Structure 1
């Protein structure tokens, strides 16, 4: 009887438990279903919106491009803001907070160093001050866009994107200054070389100036732009700390992590990002009309940095790629012209050594005596923690970044010196966003060029074409005037008290590189050195290597007549001219490794084409990786901080291997003196060990597409286990860091050194034979809602270099949204 009673109680317990579990599951299903039904992931129907002047219709074509039809530009940009917020609310919120230095309010203590750095630069403050000087019409349009953003966020209701629930946050107020601030963040990402200056400063502590130039060589076939012995200069000034302790090294590692976090939030993410663009005249096309191609290289993000749209309003008829947060088509076309951007990568950032006055830390050395720092207090609110208060100091050159950037602080004797940043983008005169608005209204190349006269930062190479058959390239933006071999030419930090290093003027627009209708019939830029015909002074000492440009040139000149298909083939080209100089040494290696014969059979015919379905690129890139480490890891922390994160040391490697007995090939840890052939063999054996450990003992299975994965990262959940599986997008990918179809390797990552997180953030081709048969593609989809199929629907097409039509006159639409004034 007792046993029967116990069984009855047990059965009752399990029935109650099962019922409770079923009830809980039912409640969860109802909540999830209610959320999914309530979330406005597919915009359609009619909305009555306060802030509109007149009704706006938005039709979505079958490729999910919205076509905005408005009766005035102000309402058109209001609708664009509404769309951006409706489709990309979280992306805009995280970007707005990054620019303002307010990430920690929702993400906690881990982002405090990022916020402190952005507050120190004063991005949002500069944006507010610049906005005050904008033309009234531009202010009105920026405000209309901001009103649309806020209306879009309000319309989301309670069913916000999942990121808000996971961070327990809500969309904040978006202002016109937030758009200007995001433009400044893009300039920060694309506009200078201060990190390279800091690296040269660090190297010069241990190397001679000549050795620094070996590690960071000048542009191919050129001499160093400066004759100054900066290593001796810094030693004489006693710039460096007296000793380097273990505590200092630990701080360096901590800051390096913070630096990586900052790069994770930036649209580009790392130094060395670039782009390709080119334009061909009708003389070299099958149709007799121009073709224009562009593929900007930014950090791969999910959702993408881009959002495509077509706007049809009086005096504003434009189609192309926008960035949520910015109320303009950045890369696109009007009815008469098309344009594309690449980064000029000019030197518009200089670091200045400011020497503290020995009697007062509030003073620093000026040309004529002590000067006071300008100071302000900043307060960072931190989720779950007390607020963090700190003082920002500015010298006559700009903000003191060494207080907020520990890597800079640890490089110098911080008791005697500080590092200030001079940067064009912070100038009050910067009105680049107004220029973008003007570009969207241009009806001829002359009008487009005229609008570019007011473009400030980031400096860009713009290729353009028009319906009359003209093609042109124009560099636009401001950069300080420099003279070859005079001073340090911006390559490394300079004494802030010496007037010779002060900026005295900017290069006039008419002296920037420009060309129209060249006899060759084509123009291209791929971040290579680009000089004005009458000015031999380069815009920077730190151009990208010319491998992509040289390959584009080869392909453009390889056939007489190009068409849409050949343009797309060039965009998808994976031959690496950064690999070909190393192939002879690679194939000459005589290895006794057990897997060497199998590997050699795979690589015998390898010519540097980084295709995804071959193991040869994997073996080659693993060998180059190991060889680079053997030559340059002796630089210690300075190598670890840079390798794969900002630099790949490829030019330095090629130059040193040109000398078979280069001292860099000798291994400091051995008792013998190795030449480059011996070190290449050692690297080969290490590479085979690495690959067999990672991918198994069969070299045939070491396919490049499996090792070289393109990872579009969500910000910030790409770093969160489990969540990254939901929010990130991953696909096998061809190419390498130097191919036209670029896929920059993450070589500093031991777990996945061959992955890429920087590639073509989109590909676009404008065909003037019929502008409505132009094409586009990018790595994600239009939607920022992770539960939507439109979050990821373009990913495989992008990875395979396929494309979709970009037309202003679609034959059909999938849905329609009507906005009516309240």
Structure 2
């Protein structure tokens, strides 16, 4: 009885605690329900807005594409800005802060390095100077879009996307220059030649120029320059005597653009595929056009599809939240597509500092003063950072803000400055996009491409009249083959021969119209104009994707939309085929070796999700690459994944006794077969630890996971699982259906963070039969059904309709002028 009495007393004492906990749970549930009810994840109904010129009707079709019907172009762009803000508010806030170097204000010290670099580059500052030169009419359109963004954010009320609550922040004010700055960030992400220049400088410390060309082989048999740049740097003694590894990337931030190692534009393989078939090669007798841009995967995706319909404007396709235009898509009678041309529009310059007066540096005709400005980076939870940014006559000094550049040279005597076309005050690429969206036909569209400045793009177009056209569009420095360094390695800033002398005229850029062969294709391979023998860069991508596209086009005399789908889904890796002889000649001694060899004997280079051979092969190729090139030390370990070294590997295995195959740590002289056997054993050891001791259960899809990373929560436990999108994915770094491997950049080396960011197929026989897909969904609200609804379709190469005149409208939103 005493026990029962005591228990009753305990219950009596705990009753207030239970009531408190229960009340707290009910309160939390109530707040959650109120939030979910108030959050405007599917905007609809009627909204009254002061800044609007006239009423705008927005109809959402069955795949959640908004069709904006407006009485003026400014109202259409206002409505697009409104949708970008209401659907992708947090993404836009991140875009704004990335481009202006203001991430640390809400994310703390983890992002100081990226803020420091972007402030040094002067992205927002350049955008403001460029915007000042924009035509008045264009400024008004950009202002209308910005007004729409700010109105959209204001209408969200208190129930903001969850990310704002987790970071203790609110949407900031969007200005027209934020759109220009985001366009510059896209140009930076697509123009990474300077990283290759920096790597050649780093390698020059330990290798000869000949050896550097073996590690970073030229596209052609002969390099575009004959200069012995490694000797040049050694003779000048430019190197940092204390060179060593830089701090590793942040473990708390996504690998996409948010840490010191992952400066935008640092990766190989940021490109795309596009191709057009004329009517002579199609079942309908009209052109087919395909496009799949290869960009970093993010959640939500970088794309938001929309239809803009206003007097003089009728376009449908992929927009980028932050930029008031359809970037890729179609008009009423033609369609267009982009891939990255990969021109060399960035040069590093070694500037010699006057050690007696460090405010001066050596110019071609005598000492020059650094231009200096102060930047203050506010940091959440920490003191502000005062940053002095130096500039030379070539551009900003990046060795003051980028750890790898600072490590490479003796910064007491030298500095590394960057010259980049996109920072030119003449750059008006956003204005050019707005004009492209108003083009009446393909001919006028092609003519207006001369207004594109940066990034330079391979534009493939097709129209309903049966024409197919290619045009490279953008600016690139004039260079003379075999003269100077041709931009492949840092130049001497005080020597006039390395200065730029104008840009290639638009009329001399590569182009083609209705070629006799009946097709056009680009995949970041070498593009050369018939009237100019000098290539636009010395650093083209491997041509495997382009060659595979051409093979598939030539394999059939008549193509239809289903053929285009199959081509975009193709996963045969042409850069793997030359390695298969060595792979299959290998004899691993690992206990699982005989079973692995048996399971891989029929592997043909096709990187299917369900392939056992694909996983074994890729692990073997990975470890073989490490065997050959890890002797480069920290330079290899910091860049393997940023660079995939496949070209270098293919070059070396052609010689069975290549010195790169020899293990420098042993007295024996190893051959490439010896290196291959060792790599096979290492691969099996890794795979057995990760996936178990039954190789028959190993599949490429279990390791090759496509991850769409959220900014900035992708690496945070629980939050990462909530916000990130993951799915098994086929392909490799060089397949048409690309899935670029992360390798040493990740603890899971065969995952992919870069793949087709969207796929589109345009049928010029009936443009409303066109198709699209991307890897997340239209919504940026994590609780929305449209946050991730496209992911399973995208992974399996399935598509959604892309129609200007949809049959089914699911909801509508009317913006009404107050």
- Pick the TM interval, shorter chain: over 0.9
Q: What are the residue-to-residue correspondences of 1:447-486 with 2, within 5 Å?
A: 447-486=444-483
Indicate how the Cα distance of structure 1 residues 250 and 491 shifts in structure 2: closer, same or farther if over 3 A, else same: closer
Could you tell me which residue of structure 2 aligns to residue 685 of structure 1? 681
Cα deviation for residue 358 of structure 1 reads 2.3
Give the 3-state SS of the residue equivalent to 1:742 in structure 2. Answer: coil
- The aligned residue for residue 86 of structure 1 is 86
- Cα drift, residue 222 of structure 1: 3.0
Could you say if the C-alpha distance between residues 269 and 76 of structure 1 is closer, same or farther in structure 2, counting changes exceeding 3 Å? Answer: farther
**Runs of 4+ deviating beyond 6 Å:** 254-259, 264-269
CA contact (8 A) 1:294 1:763 kept: yes
Question: Deviation digits for residues 718-748 of structure 1, max 9, x if unmatched?
Answer: 0211110000000010000010000000111
Is contact 2:469–2:520 with CA below 8 Å preserved after alignment? yes
Cα deviation 1:53-78 (Å, max 9, x = unaligned): 10000000000000000011010000
Aligned: 1:507 with 2:521: no
Q: 1:259 to 1:743 in 2, by over 3 A?
A: closer
2:494 paired residue number = 497
* 1:101 aligns to 2:117 (yes or no): no
**1:640-651 residue pairs with structure 2 within 5 A?**
640-644=637-641, 646-651=642-647
State the Cα deviation string for residues 613-653 of structure 1 (Å, max 9, x = none): 12110000000000000000000000011001x11100100
Q: Which residue of 2 aligns with 1:189?
A: 189
State the alpha-carbon separation in 2 of the partners of residues 257 and 162 from structure 1: 18
Question: Who is 2:627 aligned against?
Answer: 630
Q: Distance in 2 between matches of 1:195 and 1:725?
A: 32
Q: Deviations over 1:670-717 (max 9, x none)?
A: 121100011111111111111111100011111111110000000110
What's the CA shift for 1:255?
9.4
Q: How does 1:173-322 map to 2 (within 5 A)?
A: 173-219=173-219, 221-241=220-240, 243-244=241-242, 249=244, 251-253=246-248, 262=257, 270-322=267-319
CA distance in 1, matches of 2:311, 2:500: 43
* 1:13 Cα deviation after fit: 2.5
Equivalences for residues 122-201 of structure 1 within 5 A: 122-201=122-201
Deviation string for 1:214-251 (max 9, x for gaps)? Answer: 000000x431000100011001111012x32xxx5354
> Within 2, Cα distance between the matches of 1:712 and 1:750?
14
Match status 1:573 vs 2:552: no
More displaced 10-residue stretch of structure 1: 17-26 or 674-683 = 17-26
Q: Show the counterpart of 1:661.
A: 657
Q: Does the Cα contact within 8 Å between 1:362 and 1:373 map onto a contact in 2?
A: yes
Separation in 1, partners of 2:75, 2:20: 53
Q: Post-superposition shift, 1:749?
A: 4.2
Q: What's the CA shift for 1:137?
A: 1.4
1:263 Cα deviation after fit = 5.2
Distance of aligned partners of 1:486 and 1:439 in 2 relative to their CA distance in 1, 3 Å threshold: same
Aligned to 1:789: 785
Report how far residue 454 of structure 1 moved. 1.2
734, 747, 751: which one aligns with 1:738: 734
Does the C-alpha gap of structure 1 residues 607 and 257 become closer, same or farther in structure 2, counting only changes over 3 Å?
Answer: same
Tell me, in whole angstroms, the C-alpha distance in 1 between the residues paired with 2:124 and 2:332.
35
Shift in Å, 1:19 = 2.2
Name the SS of the counterpart of 2:46 in structure 1: strand
The residue number in structure 2 matching 1:820 is 816
CA distance in 1, matches of 2:527, 2:251: 32
Unaligned 5+ residue runs, structure 2? none
1:218-617 correspondence to structure 2 within 5 Å: 218-219=218-219, 221-241=220-240, 243-244=241-242, 249=244, 251-253=246-248, 262=257, 270-617=267-614
Contact 1:331 1:339 in 2 (8 A): yes
Provide, for residues 450-475 of structure 1, a one-character-per-residue CA deviation record: whole Å limited to 9, x for no partner.
11111100000000011111101000
**Per-residue deviation at 1:257?**
10
Secondary structure of 1:524's match?
A: strand
Per-residue CA deviation, residues 123-146 of structure 1 (Å, 9 max, x unaligned), is 001001101111111111111000
In 2: Cα distance, 1:84 partner to 1:271 partner: 30
- 3-state SS, counterpart of residue 86 of structure 2: helix
1:767 corresponds, among 754, 763, 767, to 763
Contact 1:267/1:299 (<8 A) preserved: no
Q: How many residues align?
A: 816
Pair 1:801-2:797 in alignment? yes
Q: Is the 8 Å Cα contact of residues 263 and 270 (structure 1) preserved in structure 2?
A: no
Q: Distance in 1 between matches of 2:258 and 2:43?
A: 33
Q: Is the 8 A contact 1:312 1:318 kept in 2?
A: yes
Shift of 1:416: 0.1
Cα distance in 2 between the residues matched to 1:749 and 1:129: 36
Secondary structure in 2 matching 1:320: strand
Note the C-alpha offset of 1:277. Answer: 0.3
- Contact in 1 for aligned 2:216/2:648 (Cα 8 Å): yes
| Conservation of the 8 A alpha-carbon contact between 1:711 and 1:757 | yes
Contact 1:53/1:75 (<8 A) preserved: yes
Correspondence for 1:112: 112
Tell me whether 254-263 or 364-373 shows the greater mean CA deviation: 254-263
* 8 Å contact kept, 1:185–1:266: no
Q: Does residue 714 of structure 2 align to residue 715 of structure 1?
A: no
The answer for the alignment partner of 2:669 in structure 1 is 673
8 Å Cα contact 1:252/1:407 also seen in 2? no
1:591 deviates by 2.5
Query: In the alignment, what sits opposite 2:41?
Result: 41
CA distance in 1 between partners of 2:323 and 2:410 (Å): 41
Q: Distance in 1 between matches of 2:245 and 2:471?
A: 46
Distance change in 2, residues 1:202/1:256 (3 Å): farther
1:542-578 superposed Cα distances (whole Å, 9 cap, x missing partner): 1110000000000011001111110010000000001
Alignment-derived partner of residue 725 in structure 2: 729
Q: Residues 131-172 of structure 1: CA distance to partner in whole angstroms, max 9, x if unpaired?
A: 111111111111100000000000000000000000000000
1:277-335 C-alpha deviation (Å, 9 max, x unpaired): 00110110000000000000000000000000111111000000000000000001111
Alpha-carbon distance, 1:192 to partner: 3.7
Q: Distance in 2 between matches of 1:363 and 1:290?
A: 59
Shift of 1:24: 1.2
Structure 2 counterpart SS, 1:360: coil
Q: Which moved more, 1:510-519 or 1:593-602?
A: 593-602
Distance 2:254 2:704 in 1: 24
- Normalised TM-score (structure 2): 0.98
SS in 1 for 2:361: strand
In the alignment, the residues of structure 2 paired with residue 335 and residue 614 of structure 1 have an alpha-carbon distance, to the nearest angstrom, of 42
CA–CA distance in structure 2, aligned partners of residues 281 and 254 of structure 1: 47
Q: Counterpart in 1 of 2:9?
A: 9
